Amino acid sequence: MRVATNPTGIITKEASSSQSVKWYTCDIPRATLKEIMRRKDGPALWNFGLWIVLLLASGYLAFRCYGTWWAVPAFLLYGTIYSSSDARWHECQHGTAFKTRWVNELFYEISSFMTIREASLWRWSHSRHHTHTIIVDFDPEIQVTRPADLFKIAVDFLDLYSGPVEIKRIALHAFGVLTPAEQDYIPLVARRRTIRSSQIYLLIMVAVIASAVVSKSFLPILFVWTPRFYGGWLHQLCGLTQHAGLAENVYDHRKSTRTVYMNLVYRFLYMNMNYHIEHHMFPTVPYFALPKLHEAVKSQMPRPYSGIIDVYKEIIPGLIRQSRDRNYYVAREVPA
């Protein structure tokens, strides 16, 4: 592992906001890219269909086990599957999961609620993330800011930091309060929708809590939103591999983003976002085509990590070092 301090080519706000800035992009034949970018309904219908079946089956198992010690692993399974709504929110946000637009939008709204991310705000937030990936003061979705807060990172394996932050944001938006940063990237025409959907989210959760009070049971609460906490470990485990510990303020995704090989189960739940450099470099490529895109540009990419253990051998010491030295980052070897 090669280490560097003080990234070269520090980017100013003026340079970052300039329309002339160009990100590095791998060479790929136009015909190949056009084929890879082709959208389809079939792969996502299979993926989402299986996900819904697993969600319902694990939910029924958790319901049947409620009141016994078997409920602990049953709800953990349900929560893990439930929390993979985050990956589905992400892909539908890009509009590439389904070819049919209304189906894509339907699942975007559902998965946004499930993952406690208000749909309208996060549509614009994520657009800014792709425009200014890990560019400080511009990217609103930098997961690990410097110096790295190890406690925050650890508790987010149960979503105990980010979850309450999102719930507070939704509550504020429901009453029409947006922060200056949010007003910067949410267009005026979208703010009313942000407020309205936040109000709907709160009404749904009030109904869920009311049903728990009336039924004198925690079950309704255990099935909605709280799975994002007790089942959020996989999202954090995979999410940290994307950018944590890498360079800031560089216009080359190969230096600020990772691609990690993962097993079939993780890839299903994570919707191939382990091919994250490829996704950032070509964000309009559907999730199911990312492995093919990876093969097409692999020779121009840094070494992909062989798995979760391989990447965390870099992430853990890197974040510990970064918690003490805000200028430290892991410098990736990229082909000339």
pTM: 0.90
> What mean pLDDT is predicted for residues 124-128?
92
- With b for 16 or more beta-carbon neighbours within 10 A and e for fewer, the 305-322 pattern comes to beebeebbebbeebbebb
pLDDT digits (tens, 9 = 90+) for 85-123: 999 999 999 999 999 999 999 999 999 999 999 999 999
User: How many domains, in total, are found in the chain?
Assistant: 1
3 state SS of 42: helix
Confirm if 269 and 55 have CB atoms less than 8 A apart. no
> What mean pLDDT is predicted for residues 179-206?
92
Instruction: Tell me what pLDDT residue 185 has.
Output: 87
Residue 12 lies in a domain: yes
Domain residue limits at 190: 2-331
pLDDT at 212 over 50: yes
Residue 195 lies in a domain: yes
pLDDT digits (tens, 9 = 90+) for 262-278: 999 999 999 999 999 99
Residue 180 lies in a domain: yes
Instruction: Tell me what pLDDT residue 181 has.
Output: 87
CB atoms within 10 A of CB 130: 15
Residue 178 lies in a domain: yes
Residue 336 lies in a domain: no
Cα 96 to Cα 177: distance, rounded to the nearest angstrom: 31
> What mean pLDDT is predicted for residues 32-54?
96
